[in-house]
Amino acid sequence: MAHQVTLIPGDGIGPELAEATRRVLDASGVAFDWEVQDAGEAVMARYGTPLPEHVLESIRRNKVAIKGPITTPVGTGFRSVNVTLRQTLGLYANLRPARSIQGLETRYENVDLVIVRENTEDLYAGIEHRVGPDAAESIKIITRAASERIARFAFEYAVANGRRKVTAVHKANIMKLSDGLFLESCATVAKDYESRIEFEDRIVDNMCMQLVQKPELYDVMVLPNLYGDIVSDLCAGLVGGLGVAPGANIGVDGAVFEPVHGSAPKYAGQNKANPTAMILSGVLMLRHLGEQAAAERVEDATRAVIADGTTVTYDLGGSAGTSEFADGIIDRLG
């Protein structure tokens, strides 16, 4: 039976990347029934919002979506579509794997990290206010329920994917109550996995330095929202940057897969942008759908095309277009 999936092409380079990704996923041998839904700049004028209710309905119904980047309009008062999606659909876990790709020149050759970021609270809960004309206050929310839930997600991911260790990242030496509760929650959950998965913790500043110097020491990391946002970009930088960094937002009732990068408006419509990040987000989606064999094949084919280097985009040192890059992957899928 075909998997029913909501496909949101998005803005800027999004439609070209979405088309490339759809063609590669269709060539994987897995049957998809794509429900294409527009969101972002293109629908603002028609619906008065970049994320109309029928798009949310489609994701709720299908429970799985893959989306291209969406431009966040500046100064219109609309909240970011991405933040709205996460909060409305309860997508509490942001998963960002960072694995070295042969053929991409980076500082290290064998980086294999997985960031699990709590997606719903912390300073990103958006509770802030001015205190008189010259001061402002943002409130950092950390709850035991959300912290234990994200820790469990990290340990379950580690077990399901044959990983060896989970590192909790925090600043509990300074924020003893909030980050202290996050760390305590992770340690509580870790006890349930004691015999299978190693557990340790690191203070976030030290963690950043160690990731830059010795990334091979780490495996799965679990972080509150703000540190997770920052450290996951650091890890993307270790393996080649935005063009190759996939992501997933996962909740109890649904999951949205998306590249980490933005809509790169200056390259829109030019068949220039690198589709790797969105295709690898598609690989995460295949795994989520239980299509492990197809996921391996698409990931291997993508990596092989990059290692070969003849049909890659400008940012990877080649001169191929987005669609030729996808063709190269499809050829290898046979």
Residues designated catalytic: 124, 171, 205, 229
Among 172, 273, 280, 298, binds ligand NAD (CB under 6 A): 273
Site for ligand NAD in 125-164 (CB under 6 A): none
Give the Cα separation of 289 and 212 in Å (integer): 33
| Residue 28 CA to its chain's centroid (Å) | 21
| 228 touches 98 (CB < 8 A) | no
Phi then psi for residue 277, to 5 deg, are -60, -40
Contact status: 72 vs ligand NAD (CB under 6 A): yes
Q: What is the closest distance, in whole angstroms, from the C-beta atom of residue 71 to ligand NAD in the complex?
A: 4
Question: What single letter denotes the amino acid at residue 129?
Answer: H
Contact status: 323 vs ligand NAD (CB under 6 A): no
Among 97, 228, 243, 254, binds ligand NAD (CB under 6 A): 243
- Which residues have C-beta within 8 Å of that of residue 48, sequence separation ≥ 6? none
Closer CB to ligand NAD, 201 or 315, in the complex? 315
Contact status: 242 vs ligand NAD (CB under 6 A): yes
Give the binding range for ligand NAD (CB under 6 A) out of 130-138, 181-189, 262-270, 300-308: 262-270
Contact status: 287 vs ligand NAD (CB under 6 A): no
Question: Which helix (H) or strand (E) is 297 found in, with range?
Answer: helix 292-308
C-alpha pair distances (Å), 33 with each of 18, 92, 268: 14, 26, 26
Q: What is the closest distance, in whole angstroms, from the C-beta atom of residue 219 to ligand NAD in the complex?
A: 26
Give the Cα separation of 251 and 248 in Å (integer): 10
Residues that bind ligand NAD (CB under 6 A): 13, 69-72, 82, 242-243, 258, 261-264, 266-267, 273-274, 277, 315
